[in-house]
Amino acid sequence: DFKNQLVFEVKDLNYTSLDEDFMQRAIDCVNKHLDNCNFDQSQFVEEMNTSKSTLYKKLKSLTGLNTSSFIRNVRLKAACRIMEEKGVSIRVSELAYAVGFNDPKYFSSCFKKEFGMLPTEYLDRFIPGEEQS
């Protein structure tokens, strides 16, 4: 399911074409505002051109996540993607700001809760290159 997979292609998830289109629009919308720490539910609702309750119900049924959790999940998956692209050359604080978190400690806490390890541990375990200091 969406929440537990590090999937970046909606077509890899088993949705109907309408749900697939909705999910792609939702992910694209969050990614468009990735580095904006002020991007929130109300902006998301407006950009998706729907009501707050409709967006919540649709996301909850497709992903099991509420709106805020969905935004955070997309941001954290983007952080993994950025780490894979930049490797050990990126600092956790840079990464946090790049994916819309304005507090690197909160970012690390969310990352650990989502993936069971800190961003530095993720880098050490999955990204080739010298050890992160």
All structural domains of the chain: 10-126 (1.10.10.60)
pLDDT in 10s for each residue of the chain, 133 residues: 555 555 555 556 566 688 888 999 999 999 999 999 999 999 999 999 999 999 999 999 999 999 999 999 999 999 999 998 888 788 999 999 999 999 999 999 999 999 999 999 998 887 766 554 4
- What span, in angstroms and rounded, lies between the C-alpha atoms of 53 and 33? 21
CA angle, residues 19, 1, 17, in degrees to nearest 5 = 20
- What span, in angstroms and rounded, lies between the C-alpha atoms of 28 and 124? 29
Which residues lie below 8 Å from residue 95, measured CB to CB, with a gap of 6+? 79, 82, 83, 107, 119
- What span, in angstroms and rounded, lies between the C-alpha atoms of 97 and 120? 15
- pLDDT in the model for residue 14: 61
